[in-house]
Amino acid sequence: MDFPLFHLDFMGNRMLVAVIAITHVIINHALAVGFAPLVTLLEFRGYLKHKTNPEEGKAWDEMARKLLFIAFIVTTTAGALTGVGIWFAASLANPASLGSLIRVFYFAWFTEWIIFVLEVVFIMIYFLTWKKSGESSLNKKKHILFGLWLSIFSWLTMAIIVAILGFMMDPGSWVEKKSLFTGVLNPLYIPQLLFRTPVAMMMAGTVGLMISAYVLKKNNKWRNEILRYISFWILLWMPVAAAGAFLYYWHIPRAMIGNLPVALGTQQFQDWYGSLVIVAIVVVAIGFTIGILGTIAPRRLPKHLLIIPVIASFLFLGTFERLREFIRKPYVIGEYMYANGILVEEYPLYQQTGILMHTPYSAITEITEENKVAAGEAVFTIACSRCHTTHGISSVVRKFERMYASKEPLNAEAMKTYIKSMHNVRHYMPPFPGNDAELDALAEFVAHQQKRPRKLDGPQVKGVDVKEIVYEINKTDK
Amino acid sequence: MISAFINQIPVPKDIPLPLPMPEWVLIVVLVFSFLVHILFINLMIGSSILTFWYEIRGKKNNDFDRLAREIAATITVNKSLAVVFGVAPLLSINVLYTLYFYSANALTGNIWISIVPWVAVSFLLFYLHKYSWDRLSDNKPLHLSILGVGILSFLFIPFIFLTNINLMLFPEKWGEINGFFEAMTLPNVFPRYFHFITASMAITGFFLAWWFGRKQFKTEGVFNNLSKNWIRKQMLNLALIATGMQFIFGPLLFLTLPSQGITWTLFWVIMGGVTIAIIVMVQLWKLLNDEGHLLGKRFFIVAGMFVLLVAFMGTGRHLYRESTLQTHKEMMAERTAAHWEAVRLAHENLLLPPVDGDVAIAVPGQNLFQTNCAVCHAANTRLVGPAMAEVAQIYKDNLEGLKKWIKEPGRKRLDYPAMTGFPHLSDQQLTEVSKYLLQEQWND
């Protein structure tokens, strides 16, 4: 509407955000939030053992350092960049939404940034001074303290960002008050945090266990001890993670009641909600198995199969992330802005006068027989393209074909009736924002796309049309 | 009421939420945090080029190889600080120039988003280079190639930022360019770029003179022949030459600036910067001729001057942006106000198009049918669900059964998608819609 709308017609904008965001969340949880305390603990164990048996202490210390080396390399490259990348991608996918969120959450993000700076400073010190810290016992103590600080600040960055995520799902009383504080104190905040913290610890354990099993040679005297310790770490966090997941699971529908116009009950949601339980049970079972096996008989841990708990724990988190995305629909900011970036409050205007006359980024104002398909394309870009493509992922043509269970030419009249009221029966869809002529053009465009598929390039490829907008200025002095 | 016509300049509406802080606070945060960010970016780029240079020279003289390694060690920290200090200015420009920044981003989207993987991979290359120094000591061509690819990335990525920051200033160009490479060739991108790279070399030279001049830095055990003094002098020389070259790139940049944003205030701020730059040059020259005190009092005076110089240039940069966008910001504010007035009218249903002919729907239930059922059901043909004529036949004498089904449907036909339930409809609504469904003549 008010921005040239970046569009990827194969993968879709959502997938772009998803790929970057999920990579970031996995790195953040597994290699920072959960990893920092694990590494610090291993180093501390090494320090304690060093007093009685220097050789064993060294082995623990060395393993902890190698784990941190990997975390350091990954977090300061892909981890840091995907973090900034979520921003880049989200502002391309839905500029109106991110632009609004930043105005509300500037302070939260600014605080997050300060903590983030400290986190980076601490990981630099912690990693780059590791080798020197072995010189004396005092240095080692100080060094372990840095590990502790790193752990605290890694956790804090997550704690703040979760407030923003929670807000997007359920803005609580924000819609009335529009202040930062009411946004942060949304009802899903604490359950999400209680879920993410132990899951991060568990994920870090599975990753640490896998890396250690490969790094430590079979003839290393302390191999079993170290593997047992990390397995025990997983075992310890597993029930907490399961409890956190349950708590979160229990809170979701209650938080949704205020969020959806029609409470619960859509089959799509039920399916998702149901599958959560299965995923949770499978992952917890895998976690327990590996945790118990590693604690009782670390020698028997199958090295090459240790990737399974890693993937399982990633899936665990991923399913909840997907659900989080699902339940916020049809909004991108609950009850304030729809997923297409249009404000709820602006809807009456657009439905009465049409959307095209209000956007500077389409040459069309009046829809005629000649420009109907082109107008439909412009309407599609504004109203649909934040989530749908023409023929790629979440393709609008395929959606209709699947719905009517046929490959026959799509019926424009039927599509019009559907789009006009779809929000009544598909609760995750926003209402159509335009007027009847635009609806007509959109249906025509979809039918046309089915008949003659043509890739819809975004403005990053084909540029953008600009038109003059006639608007009236109220001058009270006139 | 007056009407305004705008030609080929897109005038969007602003985000209807207030700024989180007074505008001037945000501007101070933006200018200051950006300069800190760019300082580390300068150090990262300058050091990587110097690493390359000394590593090549190190093929003949091992001391240079060690010097290169010492310089490379600073990149690890500087590059991470560069990224993390980039967040605050990014946040601030996002909130202050939302409409401008995001529009420019979208118009160059493919390349803009490629920054993410690209920078990540370049950083990985720098780690690979750093941690394979010993292992690849007998395969210098490979070792240098890894670094070379990293540096080429570092040299190209600033173009992406500069192109965006330049494009956002000129809404009148948004309708003209097709993609990143056209935006890159807008006037002023290249002069900005050379100005920036030269600054990187100046700042890095000055920083490394301090870095290697510190008391804590010991040359014994690191270099065979290189003396501390020699390194410092080299670095200060670099700073002096690069600062001198800015007297070419600076005016070039100023002369290619589109004139719409140039004001007298801007001119005097820039001239203030130029004056300080001349003082910096003189002081650097004196410092170089003062062999004994390369890091003495004068060094810190020059450092202070540099800070002042950068502050002047940073301010000038902001002034230019503001005056370039001023007119457009006013147009946008006007249009936003007009828009919200229209929204208000729409809420009072004053903008509804004239309705033609018969509108009154007499049969209760028909309206409900239109907004809920007709989405998936037609009279005589299969849409998403079966035809209504068929359904009416099935439930002919079974109103309650139909109501129950609509409220909580199951799945009867496996070749159809399952129906959505309507638990939110009241009993009366269910009765109305069911009656309508059974009484309507579908076969007409």
* pLDDT tens per residue, range B236-246: 999 999 999 99
Chain A residues with CB under 8 Å of B82 CB are none
Q: Same structural domain for residues A193 and A310? A: yes
* B308 has pLDDT over 60: yes
Judge whether residue B90 has pLDDT over 60. Answer: yes
Dist. CA A51–CA A61, nearest whole Å: 13
Of residues A257 and A19, more confidence is placed in A19
Is 90 exceeded by the pLDDT of residue B85? yes
- pLDDT value for A267: 53
- What pLDDT, on a 0 to 100 scale, did the predictor assign at position A406? 76
- The predicted structure's pLDDT at residue A183: 57
Interface test with B, best of A7, A75, A81 (most B CBs within 10 A): A81
Q: B353 and A435: CB-CB below 8 Å? A: yes
Q: What does the pLDDT read at residue A145?
A: 95
User: How high does pLDDT run on average in chain B?
Assistant: 89
Query: Are the CB atoms for A148 and A36 separated by under 8 Å?
Result: no
At B342, list the tokens. 């229209």
Q: How far is residue A357's CA from residue A174's CA, in Å, rounded to a whole number?
A: 31
Residue among B13, B19, B123 whose CB faces A2 most closely: B13
Among the partner residues B9, B115, B375, nearest to A417 by beta-carbon distance:
B375
- A368 and A325 inside one domain: no
Tell me which chain B residue has its CA closest to the CA of residue A77.
B120
Q: Are residues A332 and A375 in the same domain?
A: no
Digit-coded pLDDT (tens) for B273-307: 999 999 999 999 998 887 777 677 888 999 999 99
The predicted pLDDT at position B318 comes to 93
Residue B412 C-alpha, separation from nearest chain A C-alpha, in angstroms: 15
Task: Tell me whether B216 touches chain A (CB under 8 Å).
Answer: no
Among the CATH numbers 1.20.1250.20, 3.40.50.620, 3.40.190.10, 1.10.760.10, which is that of B366-439? 1.10.760.10
DSSP label of A430:
P
Find, in chain A, the residue whose alpha carbon is nearest to that of B424. A262
Task: Say yes or no: A382 and A266 in one domain.
Answer: no
Task: Determine the residue of chain A that is closest to B386 in CA distance.
Answer: A404
Question: What is the nearest CA distance from B266 to chain A, expressed in angstroms?
Answer: 29
Does B3 score more than 70 pLDDT?
no
Collapse the DSSP code of A448 into the 3-class scheme (helix H, G, I; strand E, B; otherwise coil) and give the result: helix
Q: pLDDT of B139-155, one tens digit each?
A: 999 999 999 999 999 99
Distance between CA atoms of residues B302 and B294, nearest Å: 11
Is residue A426 predicted with pLDDT exceeding 70? yes
For all residues of chain A together, what is the average pLDDT? 87
pLDDT for A300 beyond 80 = yes
Q: Among partner residues A267, A463, A469, which is closest to B177 by beta-carbon distance?
A: A463
Pick from A100-114, A134-148, B171-185, B302-316: least confident:
A100-114
Beta bridge partners of B3: A472
- Tell me whether residue A471 is in a domain: no
Residues A324-336: what's their mean pLDDT?
Answer: 78
CB B20 within 8 A of CB B41: no
Residues A261 and A185 in one domain: yes
> For residue A437, which residues of chain B lie inside 8 Å, CB to CB?
none
- Asked whether residue A473 is assigned to any structural domain, the reply reads no
Average pLDDT, stretch B214-232?
87
Residues of A in contact with B127 (CB under 8 A): 73, 77
**Domain contains A225:** yes
**CATH number where A445 lies:** 1.10.760
Q: What is the pLDDT of residue B5?
A: 42
Please, which pLDDT band fits residue B82 given cuts at 50, 70 and 90? very high
Quote the CA–CA distance of A61 and A45 in Å, as a whole number.
8
Residue A149 has pLDDT above 80, yes or no: yes
Taking residues B94-120, report their average pLDDT: 96
Please give the angle made by the CA atoms of A154, A156 and A158, to the nearest 5 degrees: 75
For B160, residues 6+ apart whose C-beta sits below 8 A from its C-beta are B108, B111, B112, B114, B115, B180
Instruction: Tell me the C-alpha to C-alpha distance, in Å, between residue A279 and each of A246, A315, A318, B411.
Output: 12, 8, 10, 26
Q: Does B289 touch chain A (CB under 8 A)?
A: no
Confidence of residue B6 (pLDDT cuts 50, 70, 90): very low
Tell me if B91 and A110 make a contact (CB, 8 A cut-off): yes
pLDDT of residue B375: 83
Q: Are B116 and A20 inside 8 Å of each other by CB? A: yes
Contact A106 B352 (CB under 8 A): no
Q: Are A247 and A194 in contact (CB under 8 A)?
A: yes
The answer to whether residue A437 scores a pLDDT higher than 90 is yes
Q: Which residues of A touch B98 (CB under 8 A)?
A: 95, 99, 102
pLDDT band at residue B349 under the 50/70/90 scheme: confident
* Residue contact A76–B80, C-beta within 8 A: yes
Q: Which of B27, B84, B181 to mutate to test the interface with A (most CBs of A within 10 A)?
A: B84
pLDDT of residue A234: 94
CA neighbor of A425 nearest in space, from A311, A278, A300, A268 = A268
User: In a mutagenesis test of the A interface, which of B164, B375, B408 is the best target, namely the one with the most A β-carbons within 10 Å?
Assistant: B375
In percent, how much of chain A has pLDDT > 70? 89
Nearest Cβ partner for A421 among B111, B371, B424: B371
> Domain check: are A269 and A362 in the same one?
no
Is some CB atom of chain A closer than 8 A to the CB atom of B142? no
Q: Can you say whether the dihedral through the CA atoms of B399, B401, B407, B412 is positive or negative?
A: negative
Q: What is the pLDDT of residue A128?
A: 94
Please name the residue of chain B whose CA is at the shortest distance from the CA of residue A344: B343
More confident residue, A1 or B202: B202
Query: What's residue A184's pLDDT?
Result: 63
Residues A330, A363, single domain; the answer is: no
What's the whole-number mean pLDDT along residues B197-203?
96
- State which residues form the domain around A210: 12-338
Nearest CB to B179 within list A110, A128, A461: A461
Question: Residue A478: inside a domain, yes or no?
Answer: no
Pairwise CB contact (< 8 Å): B352 & A180:
no
Distance of CA B71 to the CA centre of its chain: 29
Helix then strand then coil, in percent of chain B rounded to 5, is: 70, 0, 30
Q: Do B20 and A106 touch (CB under 8 A)?
A: yes
List CB contacts of A442: < 8 A, sequence separation 6 or more. Answer: A376, A379, A380, A383, A384, A419, A432, A434
ipTM field: 0.91
pLDDT of residue B408: 80
- Cα separation of B374 and B382, whole Å? 11
- Put simply, the chain B residues between 354 and 393 with a CB less than 8 A from any chain A CB are 370-372, 374-376, 378, 382-384
From CA A49, how far away is CA B378, in angstroms rounded?
Answer: 77
Is A135 a domain residue? yes
For chain A, percent of residues with pLDDT exceeding 90: 56
**Assigned domain for A165 exists:** yes
Two structure tokens written together for B191 = 């002069």
Q: Are A279 and A315 in contact (CB under 8 A)?
A: yes
Beta carbons of A82 and B123 less than 8 Å apart: no
Q: What is the pLDDT of residue A199?
A: 93
Task: Name residue, tokens 């229990």.
Answer: A250
Write the residue in B102, B113, B342 that is nearest to A3 by C-beta: B102
Confidence of residue A270 (pLDDT cuts 50, 70, 90): low
Task: Give strand pairing partners of B2.
Answer: A473
Residue among B97, B376, B407 with most chain A CBs within 10 A, to mutate: B376
Quick check: A421 and B375 CB within 8 A?
yes
Instruction: Please indicate, yes or no, whether residues A329 and A418 belong to a single structural domain of this protein.
Output: no
Residue A4 inside a domain? The answer is: no
Q: Do A360 and B110 touch (CB under 8 A)?
A: no
For residue A473, name the pLDDT band (cuts at 50, 70, 90): low
Contact status of B109 with chain A (Cβ, < 8 Å) = yes
Q: Do the domain assignments include residue A423?
A: yes
What single DSSP character describes residue A345?
Answer: G
Report yes or no: A304 and A347 within 8 Å, Cβ to Cβ: no
Q: Do A358 and B113 touch (CB under 8 A)?
A: no
Continuous H helices in B257-381: 264-288, 297-347, 366-368
Structural domain count of chain A? 2
Q: Percentage of residues in chain B with pLDDT exceeding 90?
A: 64
DSSP 8-state code for residue A343: B
Local confidence band at A265 (pLDDT 50, 70, 90 cut-offs):
very low
Q: What is the mean pLDDT of residues B253-259?
A: 89
Contact at CB, A472 and B417, closer than 8 angstroms: no
Q: Which of A424, A427, A456, A462 to mutate to test the interface with B (most CBs of B within 10 A)?
A: A424
Could you give the CA distance from residue B107 to residue B182 in angstroms, rounded to a whole number? 10
Please count the residue pairs, one from chain A and one from chain B, whose beta carbons lie less than 8 angstroms apart: 264
Q: What angle do CA A359, A361, A366 make, to 5 degrees?
A: 60
Read off the pLDDT of each residue in A341-351 and give the average, rounded to a whole number.
93
Is residue A334 located within the same domain as residue A349?
A: no
Residue boundaries of the structural domains of chain B: 20-186, 192-349, 366-439
Give CA–CA dist A413/A419, Å, rounded: 10
What's residue A167's pLDDT? Answer: 66
What are the tens digits of pLDDT across the range B13-71?
Answer: 999 999 989 999 999 999 999 999 999 999 999 999 999 999 999 999 999 999 999 99
**Under an 8 A CB cutoff, do A360 and B415 touch?**
no
Whether residue B84 and residue A117 make contact (CB cut-off 8 A), yes or no, is: yes
How far is B400 from chain A, CA to nearest CA, in Å?
21
pLDDT grade for B370, boundaries at 50, 70 and 90: confident
Instruction: Give, in order, the Cα–Cα distances in Å from A433 to each of A167, A283, A357, A361, B399.
Output: 24, 42, 13, 16, 35
A-chain residue closest to B408, CA distance: A265
